[in-house]
A and B are shown apart, each in its own frame.
Chain A
Amino acid sequence: MKSFKIMLSASLVAMTTIGAAQADKLTLYCSAQEDWCQLMANNFQDATGIKVAMTRKSSGETFAQIKAESSNPKGDVWWGGTGDPHLQAAEEGLTASYVSPMRDQLHPWAISQAESADNKTIGIYSGALGYGYNTDLLAANNLPAPSSWADLTKPEYKGHVQMANPNSSGTAYTTLATMMQLFGEDGGFDFMKGLHSNINQYTKSGSAPIKAAGRGETTIGIVFMHDAVKQAVNGFPVKVVAPAEGTGYEIGSMSIIDGARNMKEAKAFYDWALSADAQNLALEVNAFQVPSNTGAKTSASAPDMSTIKLIDYDFKTYGSSATRKRLLKKWDDEVSVLAQ
């Protein structure tokens, strides 16, 4: 206790010199779903007594905000949201590197992603890419049930498939990168071209296609499978498909913001968020991702990762901004301009 007090007063002294003379608070930027964010913030507050001020924004918005604030950071920890912007932030030096003592409890995919980014980010959950279809619409149009990526390029699905625009959505960029890794770059682009002729709309946001499928506005939506599961659990007529060829995945990540005002609290949150207990909270809010802590439980409704053929996703290459820019430009120039 005494050492804690010393630490506290030391940090107090340290902080008065920076300006804000308040201890034991944490500013959390959260990019997961609202209720999950709330639950994480409340539970961390209960567990540690550290007061959490949480702001929820999508991962792209949070990235833009952290970048804009970089000369005078306001946030401490960024939790949740797809890994791409986290990797981008790491590449631009917006986040700080930290090796948590909790690391040995994590799945190897989480660790390898962290290592690819200089330990500036870490995986907290993962979700496989796939698609979902609206069972009512499929029946109404007398279409066979698709089961693989290749099925989606068949002519009978013309005008029935929806995916997000890779220029605006991390989910769609993951799709693009997955195809490169599944079929090779040429084969991947051939696939994207085939898919393009069946697409009825490229949405802006990543999870929009499956929401549209749920409401019956499109037959098939390409999304992360946990988003599709969520629609089904919410009562929409959606069936989830894990494509037969195998598929890529995202790693929902967490990063400490470089120059955080409450570094000590940020690290405390970081360690806590990697614990099995904290990750089990996902079960309470219908989040169907797979947690990164090996001891954490996965929801029974979640897609069973052991039955899904996962590719060995290369985060180092496909997360770098050079590759991203090149692939997006190629997609822009060669795919998006084709007639539909």
Chain B
Amino acid sequence: MGLAGFFILPWYGVEDFFLFEWLTEGYPFDTDYAPAGFLLLQKEKIWLSPLIFPLFAPLLVLKNLKTDPLYGKVLILAGAIGFSWLMIQGFSIGIRGWNFEWAKLLFGDLEDRQYGMGYGGLIVASSFLFIFTQGIAARGAINGDVFVVSSILGVVAIVTIFVFFPISKMLTAAFITESGNYSVLVFASKFFDDRLWGLGCLWGGRCGVAWNSLFLAVLVGFITTILGLVFALVVTRSGFRYKRLLRTLTVLPIITPPFVIGLALILLFGLSGSVTTFISDIFGTQPTRWLYGMPGILIAQTLAFTPIAFLVLIGVVEGVSPSMEEAAQTLRASKWQVFKTVSLPLMRPGLANAFLLGFIESMADFGNPLVLGGNFDVLSTEIFFAIVGAQYDQGKAAVLAMVLLCFTLGAFYAQRFWLGKKSYTTVSGKGDSGVHPHMPRALSFPVLALALIWAAFTIVVYMMILYGSVVELWGVNNTLTFKHYITAFSFRLEDTGIRWSGSAWDSFWTTLKIAGIAAPLTAIVGLITAYLLTRQNFVGKNAFEFGTMLSFAIPGTVIGVSYILAFNVPPIEITGTGVILVVSFIFRNMPVGVRAGIASMSQLDKSLDESSLTLGANSWQTFRRIILPLLRPAILAALVYSFVRAMTAISAVIFLVSAEYDMATSYIIGRVENNDYGLAIAYSTTLIFVMLSVVGLMRLIVGRTEIGRRTNQSPNNK
């Protein structure tokens, strides 16, 4: 396979690869299109030549037995040498010749240069990686399990390339002085800024940005976890009739494009909002701007992130085995005792993960603070404006991003500490029957009341949004009209087929396509990672786990800029393509898949795997036949979340969109900036409906899990 990459496919990136124009334009001899093998025959790009040996070496030992130590050694060597040479040459030789001064000194000036790697390079790189893992497995690492070894290394490789590499590139900016040198002093002066850490609010002034963010994130984390739990309990453990409706409602905010919730809140509670005016008319109070600042952001973020907590918790709450609860009840525990001492503690992994996600989401959220922030500054907006604002200070952005990272890191370890080393396994191979008991009555009333209030509030907000899309000019001229939908989504039937003449179609199709590609990939990478983290033991597991959370913790803006910095130049040159969007979505949303996967998997007893392994299945078969089917809620969560986020993300995307690949959200923002609120909201509403139907479809395809034999579950209990 690697050989094919080396000799047949074009080595360097080709524009419009799939048009296959390159086949006719001088292939295989033109340097732009030639495969590496032909390049060498023409004595060009000689630095690629050392790659030949590791490519051929494995062939020599192909006849040897797998147990032969030589077999493993050769493969490891070949893979390692090949891969590292590929990287070294890729990074040191760029568009303008050598990338490093010392290389120039050592080898003299290079006349030649190279562009980004294409499919040829990609395949060669991955085959080196594969050879390497084959080698390690043959040497007996992790019981010689090729699947586990190659997935560990595969995930490590892609996380390194698409998470660590761009982020480290961005963070080094924190140490660069204005003249371009590196200095720790610059970092220190920016880091210990009073604006960042000031504690003025304790005595009436204003607090530093860092404290603002931290305080907000902790609050949001707690509130969303509690609300998420409330909804999960109502859906799984109560006799409430309209569960399905409630379930849909809780998912609504997550599929809402940015700014829309903020705008709706302003129209309700702003200085001239309808609720504000109504109340001031009745009580004769002076309307205030209370919404702007902490309260507004808190409301909007709670609205937006509760569904995430819910998605994580629902799997966990469903997963708690009823047999444990029944055992407790048999031992004469009251319902309340069962809930407090059995159910709740068993939900701890879910609670911790939900809190972590809420915390991180709040930290990285950008749209809500922008619209509702008032004078309450948070890290994410500060970072954005340090880069794009009038200061042009990338160093400051990098420092702020580091602070943000530290907070996330802290939350991550606090969560680990809280969970401790206890076991939360409840689903085992043993018989598991019974039904979840309902919540104790003392709990069910407040829970239901809270859920209903929240649901009512959500409905009001969404009615406002729907209404906003069908009026002439929101808040000023309330004539009903469909003109916004027509401008955006008109189409004509012509002889040649349907002509999509509306202005939003382009970005609409692109968004659907990109989100459609990114979602399954995200789920796959996320779940494999979760499997490795919960089921396998290997060196550096903690660092690995943190690495997978990293991209999620960093605000989109930083990711966006760091992706441009890292991937605009060879060896990986993908800016301006759809690939960069897909890649950024995968790595930004993967953590949710990982978290949901971990939460569900820690409930599955290892004996399930073990019995499968004992019966002769390998780990891939075990993963596919045993674990995967039990993970359906987690798969669904990952799929839904990544699809939806790909359609609604904004801050990273804004730097990565290009003329050909415009996304819906950046189109919407352009409209909002231009005062076309009606059009923006009409587009958002359409997106909401599209996402609702896609989410429904996904649910249908993935199907539901039957954990245990809970035959008499109520039909609503889905």
Residues on A lying within 8 angstroms of B by beta carbon are 16, 19-22, 27-28, 33-35, 52-58, 60-61, 63-65, 67-69, 71-72, 74, 84-85, 88, 137, 159, 165-170, 172-173, 200-202, 204-205, 207, 211, 214-218, 230-231, 234-237, 321, 324-325, 328, 332, 339
How far, in whole Å, are A69 and B195 apart by their CA atoms in the complex?
30
Majority SS at the chain B contact face: loop
Contact check: which of A21, A60, A201, A339 meets B25 at CB < 8 Å?
A21
Q: Is the CB of B390 within 8 A of A167?
A: yes
Asked if B539 CB lies within 8 Å of chain A CBs, one says: no
Q: Is the CB of B674 within 8 A of A68?
A: no
B93-114 vs A, Cβ < 8 Å mask (1 yes, 0 no): 0111000000000000000000
Which residues from B are CB-within-8-Å of A85?
392
Asked if B431 CB lies within 8 Å of chain A CBs, one says: no
B636-672 vs A, Cβ < 8 Å mask (1 yes, 0 no): 0000000000000000001101111010001100110
Which residues from B are CB-within-8-Å of A53?
658-660
In the complex, how many residues of chain B place their beta carbon closer than 8 angstroms to a beta carbon of chain A?
56
Q: Is the CB of A170 within 8 A of B95?
A: no
Which residues from B are CB-within-8-Å of A217?
266, 270-272, 289
Contact check: which of B289, B373, B387 meets A200 at CB < 8 Å?
B289
Taking CB as reference atom, which chain B residue is nearest A84? B390
Q: Is the CB of B477 within 8 A of A235?
A: yes
Contact check: which of B375, B575, B666, B674 meets A69 at CB < 8 Å?
B575
Residues on B lying within 8 angstroms of A by beta carbon are 15, 25, 32, 94-96, 115, 195, 205, 266-267, 270-272, 289, 292, 370, 373-375, 381, 384-385, 387-392, 394, 473, 475-477, 561, 564-565, 568-569, 573, 575-576, 654-655, 657-660, 662, 666-667, 670-671, 673-675
Which residues from B are CB-within-8-Å of A215?
266-267, 270, 272, 475
Q: Is the CB of B654 within 8 A of A72?
A: no
Known contacts: A53-B659, A216-B272, A216-B475. The answer to whether A34 contacts B391 by CB under 8 A is: no
Which residues from B are CB-within-8-Å of A34?
667, 670-671, 673-674
Question: Can you offer 26 A-B residue contacts whose CB atoms are under 8 A?
Answer: A19-B32, A28-B659, A34-B673, A61-B655, A63-B388, A63-B392, A64-B561, A68-B564, A68-B655, A69-B564, A71-B96, A72-B568, A72-B569, A72-B573, A137-B272, A168-B389, A172-B390, A173-B390, A204-B370, A204-B389, A215-B267, A217-B289, A231-B675, A321-B392, A324-B390, A325-B391
Taking CB as reference atom, which chain A residue is nearest B381? A204
- A27 CB to nearest chain B CB (Å): 7
How far, in whole Å, are A85 and B388 apart by their CA atoms in the complex?
9
How far, in whole Å, are A304 and B662 apart by their CA atoms in the complex?
37
- B395 CB to nearest chain A CB (Å): 13
How far, in whole Å, are A28 and B659 apart by their CA atoms in the complex?
9
Known contacts: A54-B659, A60-B388, A64-B387. The answer to whether A72 contacts B473 by CB under 8 A is: no
How far, in whole Å, are A72 and B99 apart by their CA atoms in the complex?
13
Q: Is the CB of A68 within 8 A of B569?
A: no
Q: Is the CB of B266 within 8 A of A234?
A: no
Contact check: which of A60, A202, A235 meets B473 at CB < 8 Å?
A235
Q: Is the CB of A58 within 8 A of B389?
A: no
Known contacts: A19-B32, A204-B381, A217-B271. The answer to whether A166 contacts B675 by CB under 8 A is: no
Closest A-B pairs by Cβ, 4 of them: A216-B272, A60-B388, A53-B659, A168-B389
- B677 CB to nearest chain A CB (Å): 9
Residue with the highest number of chain A CB atoms closer than 10 Å, among B477, B561, B657, B674? B674
- A45 CB to nearest chain B CB (Å): 12
How far, in whole Å, are A231 and B25 apart by their CA atoms in the complex?
53
- B645 CB to nearest chain A CB (Å): 21
Which residues from A are CB-within-8-Å of B94?
71
Which residues from B are CB-within-8-Å of A200?
289
Taking CB as reference atom, which chain B residue is nearest A321? B392
Taking CB as reference atom, which chain B residue is nearest A58? B388
- B383 CB to nearest chain A CB (Å): 11
Known contacts: A34-B670, A167-B389, A218-B271. The answer to whether A236 contacts B476 by CB under 8 A is: yes
How far, in whole Å, are A89 and B225 apart by their CA atoms in the complex?
46
Residue with the highest number of chain A CB atoms closer than 10 Å, among B25, B394, B659, B673? B659
| Given A57-B666, A168-B389, A332-B195, 20 new contacts (CB under 8 A) | A19-B115, A22-B15, A34-B670, A53-B659, A55-B658, A64-B387, A64-B561, A67-B392, A68-B564, A72-B568, A167-B389, A168-B390, A172-B390, A201-B292, A204-B381, A204-B389, A216-B270, A235-B477, A237-B476, A324-B390
Which residues from A are CB-within-8-Å of B292?
201
Residue with the highest number of chain A CB atoms closer than 10 Å, among B370, B374, B666, B675? B675
How far, in whole Å, are A282 and B568 apart by their CA atoms in the complex?
34
- B122 CB to nearest chain A CB (Å): 18
Which residues from B are CB-within-8-Å of A54?
659
Known contacts: A168-B389, A211-B675. The answer to whether A65 contacts B655 by CB under 8 A is: yes
Q: Is the CB of B388 within 8 A of A61?
A: yes
Which residues from A are CB-within-8-Å of B666?
57
Q: Is the CB of A71 within 8 A of B569?
A: yes
Taking CB as reference atom, which chain A residue is nearest B291? A217
How far, in whole Å, are A202 and B271 apart by their CA atoms in the complex?
16
How far, in whole Å, are A250 and B670 apart by their CA atoms in the complex?
21
Taking CB as reference atom, which chain A residue is nearest B391? A167
Residue with the highest number of chain B CB atoms closer than 10 Å, among A16, A33, A211, A217? A217
Q: Is the CB of B659 within 8 A of A71?
A: no
- B407 CB to nearest chain A CB (Å): 22
- A136 CB to nearest chain B CB (Å): 8
- B572 CB to nearest chain A CB (Å): 12
Which residues from B are CB-within-8-Å of A71?
94-96, 568-569
How far, in whole Å, are A236 and B387 apart by their CA atoms in the complex?
32
How far, in whole Å, are A236 and B477 apart by their CA atoms in the complex?
9
How far, in whole Å, are A67 and B671 apart by their CA atoms in the complex?
25
How far, in whole Å, are A214 and B271 apart by their CA atoms in the complex?
12
Which residues from A are CB-within-8-Å of B95?
71-72
How far, in whole Å, are A38 and B366 apart by their CA atoms in the complex?
27
How far, in whole Å, are A67 and B267 apart by their CA atoms in the complex?
38
- B637 CB to nearest chain A CB (Å): 32
How far, in whole Å, are A57 and B95 apart by their CA atoms in the complex?
27
Which residues from B are CB-within-8-Å of A205?
370, 673
Known contacts: A167-B391, A215-B270, A216-B272. The answer to whether A235 contacts B476 by CB under 8 A is: yes
Taking CB as reference atom, which chain A residue is nearest B286? A141
Known contacts: A64-B655, A72-B95, A72-B568. The answer to whether A234 contacts B675 by CB under 8 A is: yes
How far, in whole Å, are A233 and B443 apart by their CA atoms in the complex?
55
How far, in whole Å, are A328 and B385 apart by their CA atoms in the complex?
14
- B502 CB to nearest chain A CB (Å): 13
Which residues from B are CB-within-8-Å of A33?
670, 673-674
How far, in whole Å, are A216 and B267 apart by their CA atoms in the complex?
10
- B506 CB to nearest chain A CB (Å): 11
Taking CB as reference atom, which chain B residue is nearest A206? B390
Known contacts: A21-B32, A69-B575. The answer to whether A56 contacts B564 by CB under 8 A is: no
How far, in whole Å, are A16 and B26 apart by their CA atoms in the complex?
12
Q: Is the CB of B375 within 8 A of A202?
A: yes
Which residues from A are CB-within-8-Å of B32?
16, 19, 21
Q: Is the CB of B390 within 8 A of A169?
A: yes
How far, in whole Å, are A88 and B388 apart by their CA atoms in the complex?
12
How far, in whole Å, are A21 and B15 apart by their CA atoms in the complex?
9
Which residues from A are CB-within-8-Å of B389?
60, 165, 167-169, 204
Q: Is the CB of A68 within 8 A of B565?
A: yes
How far, in whole Å, are A207 and B675 apart by their CA atoms in the complex?
10
How far, in whole Å, are A57 and B658 apart by their CA atoms in the complex?
10
How far, in whole Å, are A169 and B392 apart by their CA atoms in the complex?
11
Q: Is the CB of A65 within 8 A of B564?
A: yes
Taking CB as reference atom, which chain B residue is nearest A141? B286
How far, in whole Å, are A28 and B115 apart by their CA atoms in the complex?
22
Which residues from A are CB-within-8-Å of B392?
63-64, 67, 85, 88, 321
Which residues from A are CB-within-8-Å of B271?
137, 216-218
Q: Is the CB of A61 within 8 A of B390?
A: no
- A107 CB to nearest chain B CB (Å): 25
- A51 CB to nearest chain B CB (Å): 10
- B19 CB to nearest chain A CB (Å): 12
